[in-house]
A and B are shown apart, each in its own frame.
Chain A
Amino acid sequence: AQRVTQPEKLLSVFKGAPVELKCNYSYSGSPELFWYVQYSRQRLQLLLRHISRESIKGFTADLNKGETSFHLKKPFAQEEDSAMYYCALRNTGGFKTIFGAGTRLFVKA
C-alpha cells in the first residue's frame, strides 16, 4: 500500500538554525515525491519535487530509495519559513497523490 509518514506534527527551531522535516514513504515501485507548503492564509502550493533536484527558497530534498525517505532540509531557517509542510507521493504514470499528515514548522526569532 502507498503511504507517506511525517513523524513530526510540530517542529520548532530558532532563526538561523538548520531544519530537517522528515518524510518516509511506502511504495512498491518508483514514485514521484513532492513537498508542498501552506503559508498562513495562503493556498497549498508546490515547494519542490525530487525529479527537479533543485533548491527552492534554500530548501533541498534528496530521495533515498534505500531508506525510502525524502527529507526536506534547509541549512539556515528564516522566520518566513514558518508554515505547514506536506510530503506527497504520486505513483509513476498515475494520477493519485498521497499526502502525509503534515509538519508545522515554527521558526522563532
Chain B
Amino acid sequence: KAGVTQTPRYLIKTRGQQVTLSCSPISGHRSVSWYQQTPGQGLQFLFEYFSETQRNKGNFPGRFSGRQFSNSRSEMNVSTLELGDSALYLCASSLGQSSDTQYFGPGTRLTVL
C-alpha cells in the first residue's frame, strides 16, 4: 500500500500571499489530520476531517482552513501568510476511529519570506 503523500514537499512564499497544501491519504483511510511543526511550538493540531466533515479543530486563526474531498484527499489553505507560518506541515491519515493508528506523511516545508 502506498503511504501518505503530501505535495508540494517544499514551498517558499512571501508575506501576504496564500498557499494551498495537499495530502493524499492511504487508500481506504477516511480521516485526515493536519499538524504544524515548529522548533518553538512543536507539533500542534490544526484540524481533522472525516468523510468531508471537519470533526475537530485546534487553536489556530481563521487564516488556516481546510477541506476534504469525496476521495478523502485533503487540502489546507493558509491565507495572508505571516513570517510565523513558516513550519513543517504534516498530515496523517487513519481509518477514522479515535483509537486507530495515524500514519504520517513526509510533510510540506513552508518558508515565508
Residues A90 and B98 in contact in the complex (CB < 8 Å), given A96-B48, A99-B42, A102-B42: yes
Tell me the residues in window 1-44 of chain B with beta carbons closer than 8 Å to chain A beta carbons. Answer: 3, 31, 33, 35, 42-44
In the complex with contacts A43-B104, A43-B105, A44-B104, A95-B98 CB distance below 8 A: yes
Q: Is the interface of B mostly helix, strand, loop or mixed?
A: strand
B45 within 8 A of A: yes
**CB of B63 within 8 Å of the partner chain:** no
Within the complex, what minimum Cβ distance (angstroms) separates B57 from chain A? 8
- Contact string against B for A residues 28-51, beta-carbon threshold 8 Å, 1 for contact and 0 otherwise: 000010000000000111100101
B70 within 8 A of A: no
Interface size, A (range): 20 to 34
Please indicate the chain A residues that have their CB under 8 angstroms from the CB of B104 in the complex. 43-45
- In contact, A93 and B101 (Cβ under 8 angstroms): no
Chain B 93-113 near chain A by CB (<8 Å), digits 1 or 0:
000001101111110000000
Count of residues in B whose CB is under 8 Å from the partner chain: 24
Asked if A97 is at the interface of the complex by the 8 Å CB criterion, the answer is yes
Q: Which residues of A contact B45 (CB under 8 A)?
A: 96-99
Are the CB atoms of B98 and A46 closer together than 8 Å?
no
Q: How far is the CB of A49 from chain B (nearest CB, A)?
A: 8
A93 and B43 in contact, given A43-B105, A43-B106, A44-B90 (Cβ under 8 angstroms): no
Top 9 closest A-B pairs, CB basis? A99-B43, A44-B104, A96-B56, A95-B48, A95-B55, A101-B42, A95-B56, A43-B104, A46-B101
